[in-house]
Amino acid sequence: MIIGIIGAMVEEITPLLERLKHYESKNIGGNTYYEVKIGGHTIYIAYSKIGKVHAALTCSTMILHFQCEKIIFSGVAGGLSPDLHIGDLILGSKLCQYDVDITAFGHPLGFIPESRVFIESDETLNAIAHRVAQNQHINLKEGIIASGDLFIADSGKKQWIIQHFGASAVEMEGAAVAVVCDLLKVPFCILRSISDSADGKADVNFDEFLESSAKRSADFVMMMIDQILEKK
């Protein structure tokens, strides 16, 4: 089994590398991929850098170059839903791009021709996540995650995303990973820990809770990895 784990920032993959300890580094396309061997399995870990373009490149490299068979994204997000608080974990049931707008041609917001507004994550990986949460007594939420190349720190924009996409959380990479995996037929899941509330205080809260929220997501992903590899 070959699995790819992606974070957007170094803080989002550092807890994984600290836990796994032994890895080799491989540099491709201006990015570093950390290769970890566990038994007869291989895990590739990388932080893509922020934004949808970088996430798409990293995900494509993992699948097309390293032959990853499953992709997991681990990181932080802004909470849109009022029942999401800092430190909470959310699994993306569907991913969308809130900053795609060709409504001038009669298409709905977020729609790209020959694609669709919402891309569903993998049911099997999501079921593993829920099983881990149940075993660890973790309250794992699930909902739509909206992605765009903008850090949301404005209550008005936050409400706009909720209104048009029904999203529970917002970030800058997940939907790009979803598009790549969907087109290349690779199962994926997007796990996020809430670092802020995507409002006027988001920048302050993000800086304060980035590392702790990222670690919470990474720790959960490692428990998922244990479950996935146990079944192989």
204 pLDDT higher than 60: no
User: What radius of gyration, in Å, describes the C-alpha atoms of the chain?
Assistant: 17
Query: For residue 232, is pLDDT > 60?
Result: no
DSSP state of 104: G
Active-site residue 142, yes or no? no
What is residue 48's three-state secondary structure? coil
Looking only at the bridges linking them, the beta strands covering 70-79 and 169-171 are: antiparallel
**Chain CA centroid to CA 227, Å:** 19
Q: What does the pLDDT read at residue 210? A: 78
- Residue 59 CA to chain centroid, in angstroms? 11
Q: What three-state secondary structure class fits 68? A: coil
User: In 3D, which of 71, 62, 61, 12 has the Cα closest to residue 212?
Assistant: 12
175, 145 Cβ separation under 8 angstroms: yes
Read off the pLDDT of residues 64-83 as tens digits, 9 standing for 90 and up. 999 999 999 999 999 999 99
Q: Where are the alpha helices (DSSP H) in 21-69?
A: 52-64
Which of 109, 115, 92 shows the shortest CA–CA distance to 171? 92
Compute the distance between CA of residue 208 and CA of residue 210 in angstroms, rounded to an integer: 6
Catalytic residue among 88, 122, 173, 196: 196
Confidence band of 176 (pLDDT split at 50, 70, 90): very high
Residues 95-110: what's their mean pLDDT? 97
Over residues 10-38, the pLDDT tens digits come to 988 999 998 888 999 999 999 999 999 99
**Cα separations in angstroms, 201 against 15, 47, 90, 197, 198:** 26, 25, 20, 8, 7
What the block records as the tokens of 28 is: 């491709």
SS3 121: coil
Can you list the domains of the chain with their CATH numbers?
A: 2-230 (3.40.50.1580)
Q: Which of 12, 122, 171, 173 is catalytic?
A: 12
> How many angstroms separate the CA atoms of 122 and 74, rounded?
15
